[in-house]
Amino acid sequence: MVKQGVIASTEFFGTAFASVEAMRQIMKNMLALQKLQLQTKPLSLESERAILALREHVPEPTLHHFDRLIARGKRGVAIVHNGTCGQCHLRLPSGTMAALIWAKEIQRCDNCGRYLHLADQEPPNHADLPEAAHAQTRAVAKPTRQKAHAHAT
């Protein structure tokens, strides 16, 4: 079942893992679609068929927003490198990075509105996750002051 561009894992595929793979596949389809639609040479008949086939595998609300960006000559999908949007080059919030790593929902950049895709070759930086940052702060102990002992003589 498709709801507002997000696939509900238990209703559509039955497992959370299937949902993660479905989200990654949707983003890969959108990247391929973007590459075909933004090429400068005229589209061949084979390219047009490929575009139609890719469009069938992207949820309708997501496709509408993607089409609006493409119609304005902009890219619809931005690749995320080192925690920054590949189009507007602004740092993404840690919550957005965590959602991208877990790939449970399709994420958009808060600044430019493009859909975000985590680079394939880049391993996730777990320091960007809120849980990891919180665990690191608990693990580091604060230095304590030693109390000066007054010697009574």
Helix (H) or strand (E) holding 137: helix 130-139
**Radius of gyration from C-alpha coordinates of the chain:** 22
The amino acid that residue 30 corresponds to is: M
pLDDT digits (tens, 9 = 90+) for 63-112: 999 999 989 989 999 999 999 999 999 999 999 999 888 887 889 999 99
pLDDT digits (tens, 9 = 90+) for 21-50: 888 889 899 999 999 888 878 888 888 899
pLDDT score for 144: 66
Q: Which residues pair with 79 in a beta bridge?
A: 117
7 three-state secondary structure? strand
